[in-house]
Amino acid sequence: MNASPFTNPSTGAHVRSVRSDLPGDLMEVSMGPHHPSTHGVFRMIVTLDGETIVRLKPVFGYLHRNHEKLAENTSYLGSMPYTDRLDYLNSMTNNWAYARAVEQLAGIAVPERAEYVRVILAELTRLLNHTCLAGFLMQDCGCSGTPLMYAFREREKILDLFESLSGSRMMCNYQRFGGCRVDPSADWLARARQLVEEYGPFLDEFEALLTGNEILLARTQGVGRLSAALAINAGVTGPMLRATGVNHDLRKVDGYGVYPRFQFRIPLGEHGDVYDRYMIRILEMRESLAILRQAFAGLPAGPIMNPAAKLRGFRPKVGEAYGRIEGPKGEIGFHLVSDGGPNPWRYHVRAPSFINLTILEDLCLGHTVADAVIILGSIDIVLGEVDR
């Protein structure tokens, strides 16, 4: 039951990463944990027949930094900065998911203005994540550097906004239970509005370079197809799920925050391949821009924090809650169990990119190693969240 992947099942001998004792011409190759295409310290043990993948086993844990254990030994608020470091591209949505879980656990109301600010920051995060993903996906296709430079140029603009609001570029630590930490100023909102106006033309330029590109079409269309039934059964969420044609977006299904007040569409794919996943993200960015415009227009005045919310000495009553939001990578949820003490008794992160990796082997079988790199890129993983 506990056979190591490095152990030959028939002889029990320790096997090196490239092994020659398999029947026929099969070869086992270890990709990672140091591999330029694995987006961090991810490892895949790939069995190849020629160049075709016949077996693929992911190996996790190279960035397992004990987030859940640390959270059980610190206060509820003390875990907020750690959530930044889960999916370190999207600290704002991680904050929101955790704050929402605690708000459900303790029954804390959130003022209207804070809900709007949360939507603004979550959609900016979605823009940031999807732009970077498109850049990294092109990098995986072999388009070394240039699209990523375009993506990071735009990312810096959003990070500047985050920095001037929260004090930190990447690790924002901005949301609190019952609101947000600081109120965005009128000047900040004006700059954010300007960024949103400039983002559309950037997307046009980005798409003109990429979307119809012959090489991109050849490398991604029909690669890594996922069926809707498997996607649902395997718990796949987010753009991965919608690329298979399943209309499931928590912003619509749960209608959390103030999302029901906004008009936006959910882009759906048809083929479930890598190209659809890329296109879904581009289209989602356009919808995010629409949400942002409506949020700026409707942003009410008022407090940013619920004055009744308690930050110090916060002890929720006995019980538990599972809170989830639609993060850029999929459903990010937090399961909290309280025993009435100042620390959570159990703190669990439902990490979207970890569960989306369940079907990695199914997607890669029959494809070549070069395609596996693109398929992994299209799943959009961040190792901080996969291993926690």
Partner 1 sequence: METLTQLRDRIAALFPAADVVLATNPSPSAQHALRLDATHARAIATFLRDDPALQLDQCTNVTGIDWPEKEVVDVTRTTVPDPAGGAPRVVEEKTRRIEPGRLEVVYHLYSIALSHGPVVLRLVTGNRTDAVTLPSLTPVWRSAEFQEREVYDLFGIVFEGHPDLRRILMWDGFKDHPMRRDYREPDDYEWEPTPHGDVLAKAKQHYPAPAPSAPSTP
Partner 2 sequence: MSDPTPTNPGITETERDELRRHGILLTGLEELYNWGRSHSVWPLNFGLACCAIEMIAASMAKFDIARFGSEVFRPSPRQADLLIVSGTVTKKMAPQVVRLWNQMPEPKYCIAMGACAISGGPFKQGYNVLKGIDRFIPVDIYIPGCPPRPEALLHGLVQLQEKIRNQAIAGPDAPRHLQAEGDCNCPIPECGAHDIEPAQNGALWPKPPELVRPTKS
Q: At its nearest, how many Å lie between partner 1 and the CB of residue 35?
A: 19
Cβ atoms of 88 and 329 closer than 8 Å: no
**Count of CB atoms situated within 10 Å of the CB of 174:** 23
Options 171-179, 184-192, 210-218, 231-239: segment touching partner 1 (CB under 8 A): 231-239
Cβ atoms of 220 and 375 closer than 8 Å: no
**Nearer Cβ to partner 2 (236/372):** 372
Q: Which of 307, 277, 274 is nearest to 375 (CA)?
A: 274
d(CA 62, CA 54): 24
Q: Does 73 bind partner 2 (CB under 8 A)?
A: yes
CA angle 9–15–21, rounded 5-degree value: 70
Q: At its nearest, how many Å lie between partner 1 and the CB of residue 208?
A: 35
- Burial of residue 313 (CB within 10 Å: 0-12, 13-18, 19+) is exposed
Among 88, 188, 296, 322, binds partner 1 (CB under 8 A): 322
Cβ atoms of 13 and 7 closer than 8 Å: yes
Among 238, 328, 333, 384, binds partner 1 (CB under 8 A): 333
Q: Does 70 bind partner 2 (CB under 8 A)?
A: yes
**Nearer Cβ to partner 2 (144/247):** 144
Q: Which residues pair with 176 in a beta bridge?
A: 179
Q: Which does 36 bind (CB under 5 to 8 A by kind): partner 1, partner 2, none?
A: partner 2
Overall size of the chain counted in residues: 388
Cβ atoms of 337 and 345 closer than 8 Å: yes
Q: Does 81 bind partner 2 (CB under 8 A)?
A: yes
Q: At its nearest, how many Å lie between partner 2 and the CB of residue 304?
A: 25
Cβ atoms of 113 and 300 closer than 8 Å: yes
Q: Does 387 bind partner 1 (CB under 8 A)?
A: yes
Q: Does 171 bind partner 2 (CB under 8 A)?
A: yes
Element (H, E) at 357: none
Q: Give contact residues for partner 2 (rule: CB under 8 A).
A: 33-34, 36, 40-41, 61-67, 69-70, 73, 81-82, 85, 88-89, 148-149, 152-153, 155-156, 169-171, 383-384, 387
Q: Give contact residues for partner 1 (rule: CB under 8 A).
A: 1-6, 60-61, 64, 66, 68-69, 104-107, 230, 232-237, 246, 248, 253, 316-324, 331, 333, 335, 337-338, 345-346, 348, 350, 354-355, 357-359, 387-388
